């Protein structure tokens, strides 16, 4: 077994590459192979991140006398490559999996149910609840949270002295900073899959829900969803399109507010050293609890793995309190293991502290097998119709809610 000193060195090495980013070894994987454990991961952004993960895997190999074949795949190509491997039965034993894909894969019987192993191992309580919930489908657990992130409110401190805490305050500030054709109040949330990921933060902040807890029917088209869309349209009135959609508008000081994740901190600081900015929790409708969303990746085991016990042991090795400190640096996101998160002390940085606090009230996407389809094809296109084409939010969201229920419930 490797010493605690060696593990500490790995944590430091990985931590040096920590950028809180939002999401070349080994050959083709395959759960059917019997001479090794196959593990697929996103290709790290830096050599130091890759070396840290390689070393963490080497620890596991030495402790368990097993060869782990790590295949690094670029993030943008990961889902396509993984789906192709599943189709021909050559998938890995263990892999990263984007949070919203977990319920779909679980529903298709592709993932191993690890409910019992988790109860006798680290335990669900070891992890941040919202991140853990992304692995729970119909009361059963199909993965362990590997990383998590969320979004909050960036603001230009040269334009805004005190960030808003309510929607009314935000609108008042938007009117104050708006200069036609020169300064926009808000960058907007956009449409498509990205906008559909952000939109629930506003629906929940307004007291609404995306689905009914009782029967999993869509509810984003109800009053709270329409109110959220209208609020965003109100902000857009103080945000000329030519300004807010210009290249690097926020970085160039042309926009007062934007909603984004912690990966922006380093990017803005390096690329725009003269920009004065800070981060605040997302305002709520009436000044209540600030609510946001959650993103990230899970670690899953495939049902057809012939080494399920070793596969689960690898997951535990990567996500226990020490392993997760390394993995936070590798993934560039927040640690999901609560003990690891405390040790990493993200709150020492005032901007990261906002995101860490925001994660405490972040709400995961519904873990329904068809939710990703609803997110991308229904909600995303509805937001395009509202914010780009200028269609009526009530009409658009009512119709989108009906389409979602056809997908979710077959109605």
For Cα atoms 19, 22, 28, give the angle at the middle one, nearest 5 degrees. Answer: 100
Quote the CA–CA distance of 19 and 267 in Å, as a whole number. 9
Residue 122: predicted pLDDT: 87
Instruction: Give the number of other CB atoms < 10 A from CB of residue 405.
Output: 20
Average pLDDT of every residue of the chain: 91
Quote the CA–CA distance of 69 and 57 in Å, as a whole number. 9
Q: How confident is the model at residue 99 (pLDDT cuts 50, 70, 90)?
A: very high
Residue 24: predicted pLDDT: 30
CATH number corresponding to 4-149+295-363: 3.40.190.10
For the chain, residues classed under CATH 3.40.190.10 are 4-149+295-363, 152-293+370-409
Residue 199 has pLDDT above 50, yes or no: yes
Q: How confident is the model at residue 20 (pLDDT cuts 50, 70, 90)?
A: low
Quote the CA–CA distance of 311 and 325 in Å, as a whole number. 20
Average pLDDT over residues 33-46: 86
Residue 186 has pLDDT above 50, yes or no: yes
More confident residue, 45 or 200: 200
Quote the CA–CA distance of 24 and 256 in Å, as a whole number. 41
Which structure tokens are listed for 217?
Answer: 């029917």
Q: How confident is the model at residue 410 (pLDDT cuts 50, 70, 90)?
A: confident
In the 8-state DSSP scheme, what is residue 375? I
Average pLDDT over residues 1-9: 44
User: Cβ contacts of residue 35 below 8 Å, gap of 6+?
Assistant: 67
Average pLDDT over residues 370-395: 95
Q: Which residues, listed in sequence order, are joined to residue 73 by a DSSP beta bridge?
A: 42
More confident residue, 128 or 1: 128
Which structure tokens are listed for 372?
Answer: 């990703």
Average pLDDT over residues 381-387: 96
Q: CATH fold of 152-293+370-409, please?
A: D-Maltodextrin-Binding Protein; domain 2 (3.40.190)
Which structure tokens are listed for 94?
Answer: 């263990």
Residue 40: predicted pLDDT: 98
Average pLDDT over residues 189-217: 94
Residue 31 has pLDDT above 60, yes or no: no
**109-128 tens-digit pLDDT:** 999 999 999 988 889 999 99
**147-159 tens-digit pLDDT:** 999 999 999 999 9
Quote the CA–CA distance of 75 and 82 in Å, as a whole number. 11
Report the 3 state secondary structure along 217-277: CECCCCHHHHHHHHHHHHHHCCCCHHHHCCCCCCCCCCEEEEEECCHHHHHHHHHCCCCCE
Quote the CA–CA distance of 244 and 224 in Å, as a whole number. 26
Residue 2: predicted pLDDT: 38
Residue 14 has pLDDT above 60, yes or no: no
Q: How confident is the model at residue 16 (pLDDT cuts 50, 70, 90)?
A: very low
- Which of these, 18, 313, 4, lies nearest to 144 by C-alpha position? 313
**257-304 tens-digit pLDDT:** 999 999 999 899 999 999 999 999 999 999 899 999 999 999 999 999
In the 8-state DSSP scheme, what is residue 113? -
Residue 35: predicted pLDDT: 72
Q: How confident is the model at residue 10 (pLDDT cuts 50, 70, 90)?
A: low
Residues in the chain: 411
Contact call for residues 305 and 36 (beta carbons, < 8 A): no
Quote the CA–CA distance of 96 and 85 in Å, as a whole number. 14
């Amino acid at each position: 077994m490797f010493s605690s000193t060696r593990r500490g060195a790995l944590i430091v090495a990985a931590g040096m590459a920590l950028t809180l980013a939002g999401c070349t070894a080994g050959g083709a994987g395959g759960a059917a192979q019997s001479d090794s454990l196959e593990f697929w991961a996103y290709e790290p952004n830096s050599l130091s991140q890759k070396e840290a993960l390689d070393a963490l895997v080497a620890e596991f190999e030495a402790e368990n006398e097993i060869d782990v074949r790590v295949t690094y795949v670029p993030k943008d190509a990961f889902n396509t490559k993984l789906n192709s491997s599943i189709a021909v039965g050559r998938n890995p034993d263990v892999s990263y999996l984007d949070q919203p894909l977990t319920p779909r894969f679980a529903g298709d019987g592709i993932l191993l149910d690890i409910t019992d192993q988790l109860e006798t191992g680290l335990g669900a309580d070891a992890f941040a609840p919202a991140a853990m919930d992304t692995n729970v489908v119909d009361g059963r657990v199909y993965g362990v949270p590997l990383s998590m992130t969320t979004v909050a409110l960036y603001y230009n401190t040269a334009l805004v002295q005190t960030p808003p805490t309510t929607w009314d305050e935000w609108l008042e500030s938007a009117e104050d900073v708006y200069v036609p054709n020169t300064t926009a109040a808000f960058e907007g949330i956009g449409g498509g899959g990205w906008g559909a990921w952000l939109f629930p933060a506003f629906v929940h902040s307004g007291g609404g829900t995306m689905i009914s807890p009782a029967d999993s029917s869509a509810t984003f088209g109800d009053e709270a969803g329409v109110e959220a869309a209208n609020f965003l349209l109100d902000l857009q009135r103080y945000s000329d399109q030519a300004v807010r959609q210009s290249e690097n508008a926020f970085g160039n000081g042309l926009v007062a507010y934007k909603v984004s994740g912690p990966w922006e901190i380093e990017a803005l600081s390096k690329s725009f050293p003269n920009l004065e900015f800070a981060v605040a929790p997302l305002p709520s409708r009436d000044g209540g609890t600030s609510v946001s969303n959650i993103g990230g990746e899970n670690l899953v085991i495939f049902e057809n793995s012939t080494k399920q016990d070793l596969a689960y042991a690898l997951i535990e090795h990567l996500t226990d309190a020490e392993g997760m400190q390394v993995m936070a640096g590798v993934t560039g996101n927040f640690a999901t293991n609560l003990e690891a998160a405390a040790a990493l002390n993200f709150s020492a940085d005032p901007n990261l502290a906002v995101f860490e606090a925001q994660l405490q009230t972040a709400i995961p996407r519904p873990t329904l097998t068809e939710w990703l389809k609803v997110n991308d094809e229904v909600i995303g296109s509805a937001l395009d119709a509202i914010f780009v084409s200028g269609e009526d939010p009530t009409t658009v969201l009512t119709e989108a809610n009906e389409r979602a229920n056809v997908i979710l419930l077959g109605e």
